Amino acid sequence: MSFHTTSIAYQLRRIPTPIALAVGILFGFLFARIVPLTTPSTPVWRSGHIPAKSHQQSRQPIQLPTLDQRQRVLDLLATLSPHYTKECTRHAQPLYAAQALERYAPLIGHNPPSRDSWLSGLFGSDLDADKVHRRDVMPSEHKYYFAINLYNSFDVIPDLFATLFRTAAILGYHNVFVSIYENGSSDQTKALLRIFDALTRSVGMRVTIRTSTRTRGAFNHRIEYLAEVRNSAFVPLHELRDSEGEYFDTIIFMNDILPCVDDILELIWQSRINNAGITCAADYMYHEEISSPVFYDNWVARDINGTALENAPFEKIFHDEDSSDRFQRHLPIQVQSCWNGIAVLDPAPFYSPPHVRFRMAKITEGECSASECSLICNDYWEAGYGRIMMVPRVKLAYDSKVFDIIHPERRNLTAIRGYKRLGGLPDDPRTDPQDRSWFGPHDRLFSPEEAEPLQFNPGPEHVWCWGWDGAGDLEGPDVDPIWEQMPNKSTVANSVLVKHDRGMALF
């Protein structure tokens, strides 16, 4: 280095820091004026649930692909799928297909609905969708946030993504955001997630997948750990609000289950027509002793009288007589709490005070150490969003064995004898011999009562709680069960009034 160069460098080092900082800022300003940033012309993501003074534009718009591009990705998704859920609606009876097309038409998020739309494609191309879609109806701009936790989920990921892909195509890709948080998997879950991340992004579907090697330590509190994992799936919800001014109208929180497209649509439909705070499905596990599926998530689910649901066949799940009757008739039921594989949530309590989130119990204050999902239901009640319901029609499984049992093929006397129908009425599915089963075929016809809004009542004064206080790998709750008193706010009429209108126009 020459003496002249060294001298210049020495003089620059002698420049005071404030002057050097000012020179840097001035240089940056001049550079910005010379090379201006361009503003993308793609439409921004927007929600109908936007508080005042929140009108920022998204800085990361997505260029939507063509229909041909989407079709190619759909074919690829189907090729990679093990097809556990492939037969959900493939052989649906025509009357159910017509009912479903008309029922879910208000959820369509693209314009105009046509004969070859995604919704009509679920039930075959021979149905005339023009008969059930009105051309003068504007597409829905309702915005949906899907939150999913995964752990060693390699077997269900293809079905899960294929269902998400098709559901988003109906709701509108521009209306859907998917947040997946995976941690601690020891199989090839992470690798498969990378594949589907690329596929879904290629069709304009917004997906954020975050993975971690974190697992629950030997001395970590189980509920505290699970609450943190669930909250991790909600991080983009708050990031989009803070950085983009984007708000969502409905949250769909999914476990690693095997859902059908119309299962998700039905939960969304019921959630919106009832303006429910939380809407749950019914999930099932295989019971070895009776060689049959039974209701699964009874650690969380509580009847409206506060009693726990049972791991039992359908006649013995509910203790409340009215709830049991509605469950056996596959009608929506008001409950005190539930989760059951998929929960559709009103997002308002996440955005507004008291800002609910998944948490562990306040044990030092005497709160029973219930599940993080039970506690968030309790918090919804206390926040005035106690319209919580369960939809028995939507039956979920965590593996193919239970899925096949609770979704049997329609093989009854009608099919065996070769008749189109034997007994029963086309407008009353309860008179169909096979529909008397507590599981039954997936294409069970809709009854008029399933469309009637629920009459919600205030919550119970006490709820059955079986606590899980200990850390480590305990096999189940380790605290004696108690009847826990609920806050007064959950037992008054205001707890079930509609505070956030998420309804839709039915036609």
The whole-number pLDDT of residue 367 equals 94
- What does the pLDDT look like over 252-290, one tens digit per residue? 999 999 999 999 999 999 999 999 999 999 999 999 998
Count of beta carbons in the 10 Å neighbourhood of residue 355 = 11
Tokens of 275: 């303006």
Signed CA dihedral, 14, 16, 21, 26: sign only: negative
Any idea where the domains of the chain sit in the sequence? 3-34, 84-139, 216-407+450-496, 411-441
Signed CA dihedral, 280, 286, 287, 290: sign only: positive
**Amino acid (1-letter code) at residue 480:** D
The whole-number pLDDT of residue 102 equals 94
- Residue 254 near residue 160, CB atoms below 8 Å: yes
Give the separation between CA 241 and CA 252, rounded to whole angstroms. 17
Q: What topology does CATH give the domain 216-407+450-496?
A: Spore Coat Polysaccharide Biosynthesis Protein SpsA; Chain A (3.90.550)
- The two most distant CA atoms of the chain are separated, in Å, by 104
146 membership: H or E segment, kind and range: strand 144-150
Q: What is the pTM of this model?
A: 0.81
The whole-number pLDDT of residue 59 equals 47
The whole-number pLDDT of residue 295 equals 93
- What does the pLDDT look like over 150-177, one tens digit per residue? 999 988 888 898 899 889 989 998 999 9
The whole-number pLDDT of residue 304 equals 96
The whole-number pLDDT of residue 145 equals 98
The low-confidence residues of the chain, meaning pLDDT below 50, are 2-3, 5-10, 12, 29, 31-60, 82, 129-137, 413-427, 429
Give the separation between CA 323 and CA 335, rounded to whole angstroms. 8
